[in-house]
Amino acid sequence: GSRRSSHSNAFFVGIGATKRIALFDTLIEQATTEELVAILAHEVGHEKLRHVQINMIIGLVYTFTLFSIMSLFLGYEPLFAAFG
C-alpha cells in the first residue's frame, strides 16, 4: 500500500500539452485490469467533454461576480460603522 494514504483515486488535470491522468498507487493495486480500463475511460471522458476548461471558466465567472458584488459595498458607510 501507499505510505501517504490508503485512499484510492484518479483524476484528470491540465490543459494544452500538459494534460495528465493521475492514478493513485492504491487504486492500481486494488482494481482489476477491467476496472482500471473503465476508470481511464471515465477520466478521458472528462477531457472529451472539456470539464477542466468549463470548470475554469465557471470559477473565473464566480470570482469576477463575487469581487464585483464586494466592490459595491466598499463605499457603504453603515457596513464599516457596524464593525467599528
Q: Whole-angstrom Cα distance, residue 33 to residue 12?
A: 19
Whether 43 is catalytic is yes
The residue type of 60 is L
Query: Which among 29, 34, 35, 43 is annotated as catalytic?
Result: 43
Output the CA torsion sign for 45, 48, 50, 52. positive
Q: Which residue numbers are catalytic?
A: 43
